[in-house]
Chains A and B, each alone.
Chain A
Amino acid sequence: MIRFKDVSFRYSKDQNYVLQDISFNVKKGEFLGMSGPSGSGKSTLCLMMNGIIPKTIQGDFSGDVYIDGENIAEKEIYEISEKLGLILQNPESQLFSMTVEEELAFGPENLGIKREEIEDRISWALRLVSMERFREAFPHQLSGGEKQKIAIASLLTMKPEILVLDEPTSNLDPKSRIEIFKIVQKLNRKGMTVVVVEHETNFISTADNILILNEGRIVRYGTPKKIFREADFLKKIGVRVPEIVEFSHCLLKDGYTDDIFLSVTEALEGLNVKSRRSLL
């Protein structure tokens, strides 16, 4: 669904590369988590997925990016946005209409979609993010978490097949964060391809695969269990490790388990097995 082939980018030829030799694939329906320390190139990579780099933000770009099999170099940004929606850290920068309904109608109206269809899409999108009662609300009176849900809904009305979220919750309180990630998981279960950039890695521990960037290069790629097994490496380059994973490493080090737990449920199952064994 998303394919990067030998992509490198720097803002100008006399500067260092922001990203170098980036190649990876995201399958249809996959949930890819992405992390890395500040300045590792995560946001730049997101802006390449919808063509803003190099189409709007220009520089020294090489390599190819394919979305749904098509090289996006040959596409206009508005054509890419029908396939792929990008959510940024700050929803304020994405909301500009008087009412939530207008905000959600904006994208499909520009695609020339019929009013009835637009109405249906707005209801459907608001239902997916549990914000139906805010249809007439003024976006700027909403809380940070509500704004971010509306920003997501406004992309959903475009019916994209891929959703890319760049640190979508870093300005939100913990409850709102969890709500946003539940929405993302729900969309993924419904078949949407999802890419989430997060420095709070506990939010990407349910991903199919995790990609770790450092200094503009892909330094690790694999399932969450495989990635989090190397907790020391992650911490060394400045990537947070979920607390439950840290706890499993304590157990692992002293031989109480050979598994990496990714959730409270997994930890409980793992510990019960172990204590039953020790009872034998």
Chain B
Amino acid sequence: MLKVEDLCYEYESGFQLKNINLEVKGGESIGIIGENGSGKTTLVKNLIGLLRLNSGRILLDGKDTSTMSVAEIARSIGFVFQNPDNQIFASSVKEEVSFGPQNLKIDNIEEKVTNVLKTTDLFKYKDSHPFNLSGGEKQRLALASILVMNPKILILDEPTSGLDLKNARKLIEIVKKLQKEGRTLIVISHDMELISDLCDRVVLMKSGEIIADGAIKKIFDDHDLLEKTRLDLPEIAKLSKILGFGVVFSPEELYRKWRASHD
């Protein structure tokens, strides 16, 4: 579905993405992790055409994206920014979500907007001004205005950061529904419990390079890798490792393992 070959990109400041190779299959969910400044967002901006690579190529369903406009890429790859305020500009929720499809002259806009607002639990606010929404609702609005374009690949940048428990859970629930529908998912996050909950595969970045690509537990079991990056194990994973149960990201899973060995 998405293939990145030997991608290199350099900012004027000198920061580089170096020889990125990555293949994402249809229906797959991958997490991109790494410390701040490791190149996660720069990589994603290259994927959606906001930044244009210096060398290498990106293939979307076999087609080189260097020949495609940002709008064309956006039909296939939807990117939800970390700060929803950057993405919101219309004067009503409905208008906000209608903007993209209107620009791309998509059919049945009304019906699609209604469906997406229902999926994201925002239908009741359809006539409200977006700035009257709470942080969690704004985050869902940003997701809705991307979903309405029906992209095959959805990229989420720190989707739950800054959200309280209720809003974070609601968002995760929606994302899981999208996964079940077969949507391909790329999630950038520092939250390892979230990543382990949503993604089967993790790409670890450091200083503009991919330094590991594989199952999340395998990566967190690798001492050398952890030493090399600024990644820190969540408390529950630390406890689980000391207790000899390997890397576990959920308290309930650790308890099940502890109990099984204890009884």
A residues whose Cβ falls under 8 Å from a Cβ of B: 37-39, 143-145, 170-176, 178, 199, 202, 235, 238-240, 242-244, 246-247, 249-251, 254, 256, 263-264, 267-268, 271, 275, 278
Contact check: which of A171, A251, A263, A278 meets B255 at CB < 8 Å? A251
Are A143 and B236 in contact, with the CB atoms below 8 A? Answer: no
Q: With a CB–CB cut-off of 8 A, which chain B residues contact A244?
A: 235-236, 239, 251
Are B254 and A247 in contact, with the CB atoms below 8 A? Answer: yes
Q: Per-position contact with A for B225-238: 1 when CB-CB < 8 Å, else 0?
A: 00000111011101
Are A175 and B230 in contact, with the CB atoms below 8 A? Answer: yes
CB-nearest residue of chain B to A35? B164
Q: How far is the CB of B162 from chain A (nearest CB, A)?
A: 5
Are B235 and A263 in contact, with the CB atoms below 8 A? Answer: yes
**Which of A240, A247, A254 lies at the interface centre, i.e. has the most chain B CB atoms within 10 A of its CB?**
A247
Interface of A is mostly: helix
Are A268 and B239 in contact, with the CB atoms below 8 A? Answer: yes
Task: Using known A-B contacts A143-B36, A145-B36, determine if residue A264 contacts B242 with beta carbons closer than 8 Å.
Answer: yes
Q: With a CB–CB cut-off of 8 A, which chain A residues contact B135?
A: 38
Q: With a CB–CB cut-off of 8 A, which chain B residues contact A171?
A: 161-162
Asked if B28 is at the interface (CB within 8 A of a chain A CB), the reply is: no
Interface CB pairs A-B, < 8 A, 28 = A37-B164, A37-B165, A37-B166, A38-B134, A38-B135, A38-B163, A143-B36, A143-B37, A145-B36, A173-B35, A174-B232, A199-B165, A238-B166, A239-B164, A242-B235, A243-B234, A243-B250, A244-B251, A247-B236, A247-B251, A249-B251, A250-B252, A254-B259, A256-B262, A263-B235, A264-B235, A268-B242, A268-B243
Interface of B is mostly: helix
CB-nearest residue of chain B to A241? B165
**What's the Cα separation between A144 and B161 when bound, in Å?**
15
Asked if B94 is at the interface (CB within 8 A of a chain A CB), the reply is: no
Task: Using known A-B contacts A173-B190, A243-B193, A263-B235, determine if residue A275 contacts B262 with beta carbons closer than 8 Å.
Answer: yes
Q: Per-position contact with A for B137-161: 1 when CB-CB < 8 Å, else 0?
A: 0000000000000000000000001
Task: Using known A-B contacts A38-B134, A38-B136, A173-B190, determine if residue A247 contacts B165 with beta carbons closer than 8 Å.
Answer: no
**Extra inter-chain contacts (13) besides given A170-B162, A174-B231, A267-B239, CB under 8 Å:** A38-B164, A38-B167, A143-B36, A143-B37, A144-B36, A145-B36, A170-B161, A171-B162, A173-B36, A173-B230, A175-B230, A239-B165, A268-B243
Q: How far is the CB of A225 from chain B (nearest CB, A)?
A: 16
Are B255 and A202 in contact, with the CB atoms below 8 A? Answer: no
Q: How far is the CB of A218 from chain B (nearest CB, A)?
A: 17
**What's the Cα separation between A170 and B254 when bound, in Å?**
27
Q: With a CB–CB cut-off of 8 A, which chain B residues contact A172?
A: 36
**What's the Cα separation between A242 and B236 when bound, in Å?**
9
Task: Using known A-B contacts A38-B163, A264-B239, determine if residue A174 contacts B254 with beta carbons closer than 8 Å.
Answer: no
**What's the Cα separation between A188 and B236 when bound, in Å?**
26
**Which of B35, B250, B251 lies at the interface centre, i.e. has the most chain A CB atoms within 10 A of its CB?**
B251
Task: Using known A-B contacts A173-B190, A174-B231, A178-B232, determine if residue A250 contacts B251 with beta carbons closer than 8 Å.
Answer: yes
Q: How far is the CB of B172 from chain A (nearest CB, A)?
A: 13
Q: With a CB–CB cut-off of 8 A, which chain A residues contact B255?
A: 247, 250-251
Q: With a CB–CB cut-off of 8 A, which chain A residues contact B236?
A: 243-244, 246-247
Q: Per-position contact with A for B150-193: 1 when CB-CB < 8 Å, else 0?
A: 00000000000111111100000000000000000000001001
Q: With a CB–CB cut-off of 8 A, which chain A residues contact B251?
A: 243-244, 246-247, 249-250
Q: With a CB–CB cut-off of 8 A, which chain A residues contact B254?
A: 247
Q: How far is the CB of B218 from chain A (nearest CB, A)?
A: 19
Are A175 and B35 in contact, with the CB atoms below 8 A? Answer: yes
Q: With a CB–CB cut-off of 8 A, which chain A residues contact B258?
A: 251, 271
